[in-house]
Amino acid sequence: MGEWCRNGRDEGDILQRQNFYDRRSSKQVLDNVHGNIYLDKLALNFIDTEQFQRLRDLKQLGVTYMVYPGAIHTRYEHSLGVYWLAGEAARYLQTYQGEELDIDRFDVQTLKLAGLLHDIGHGPFSHLFENGFLPRVVNEYKWCHEKMSLSMVDYIVDEHNIDIECESLKKVKEMIDASSSITVANSAKEKRFLYDIVANGRNGIDVDKFDYIGRDSRACGLGCNFHFQRLMESMRVIGNDICYPAKEYLTVHKLFTSRADLHRTVYTHAKVKAVELMLIDALVKANDYIPISAAIMDPSLYWKLDDTILKTIETSTEPELKESRDLILRIHRRNLYQFCNEYAVPSVNLEHFKEITARDIICSQKSSRVTLREEDVIVSNVKIDLTRGQCNPLESTYFFKDYSTDEKLTITHDRISHLLPKCNQDRIVRVYSKKPELVESISEAFENFQLNVYGVKAQVHDTPEKKKRRR
């Protein structure tokens, strides 16, 4: 393979870009992250449906906006962004390896549609619905938004008679589900590298993360030192695997650390989690009267479910929804479940960590001043990693030395930097009190639990005295 020219976008590159996104048959949208996005005719057939427009009523970060006021962007914007980046990834590969990889218009369109529709199955309030609410109300049924996305895609095609080839539809669905079902069959597919662009289950490097890391950081007013353009413009395919220049290993690592930073400071912020825990309780209490969970079995019902369910409960006058309304009112008045304290699980205990429960805390109570009940205590077990659990995702990432070689290689952790942590995962245990007057008792029981399990208090700070005395 000859050496590639990567010295910016020359006149030929601009012309090719114009041909790649045929502006005569596309619609232009101005995105606040990526600039001009061109939507092709087939994409518009999906976008201009009530099922896709529902994404406008799903905030990308759920209730995070109650702590970070700017985080009001939606799944709709994110989906357009992933659509665009999937097309850009295909364009770069087609530009530099088009003949070699045999990427055709069918591949490009399929890839872009997968990016557009990858989140069509998300429920209200981001991952709270799937990971917090459903496990409380649905027994022995494993549900995930990726599977619902597949059902929603079929439903939209049938409901609106969208003219799409069966083979294209099949591949779109496989690409959406790639992150949750990497099978032997998928690994043997022709042009397997295409399945790693939108939802990469091999190492987590995909355009979905490229978009949401930048978009979420911007919305929350945070800086972001990860720049996906360097990876997009320098990637190449070797042996059916997407590879990156070896000199970009720190850029790859920044992708994962930036994601972990967002989890720590935004997605799992202690106040955000407090609001989420209250909202989950409100939805669970409302579920008996409003069959929210029943919608997950039927796309024709599911698409009508979005964040406006909160306003539906809040404005209802039905007595059956009073408990849920009261919880929502508490959220608005910032009378939240009280965060008592937290600790990070010691690294030596991570491998055999078992999630802590409210019962574990109340069983550690020694003071008889007040008797704690399980329903008074909430424990939040937070996991933050680099997408691969305790493993380093760089070990599953392929690199190459330069463009004159077809040899791919991996970079071990010790060759990256001695400054990087040895452990790739954090487990944080947080405890909350539903009632302000119980903060002191719950905090003491929480400290006793740590002493019983670890022999020391693992938390960094003591619970403030003014919080303990709050009534």
Give me the active site residues, please: 145
Host H or E run for residue 18: helix 11-20
CB-based contact 51:159 (threshold 8 Å): yes
Of all residues in the chain, what percent are helix, strand and coil, respectively (each to 5)? 55, 10, 35
Nearest CA-CA partner of 272 in 148, 376, 382: 382
Residue 363's Cβ-count burial label (10 Å; 0-12, 13-18, 19+) is: middle
Contacts of 151 (CB under 8 A, 6+ apart): 121, 299, 302
* Residue 22 DSSP class: -
Cα 241 to Cα 400: distance, rounded to the nearest angstrom = 11
Which single residue is written with the structure tokens 């009530």? 50
Cα 17 to Cα 92: distance, rounded to the nearest angstrom = 10
140 torsion bin: left (phi>0), alpha (psi -120 to 50), beta (else): left
Cα 181 to Cα 377: distance, rounded to the nearest angstrom = 36
CB-based contact 393:378 (threshold 8 Å): no
Residue 92's Cβ-count burial label (10 Å; 0-12, 13-18, 19+) is: middle
* Residue 244 DSSP class: E
Radius of gyration of the chain (CA): 24
Host H or E run for residue 350: none
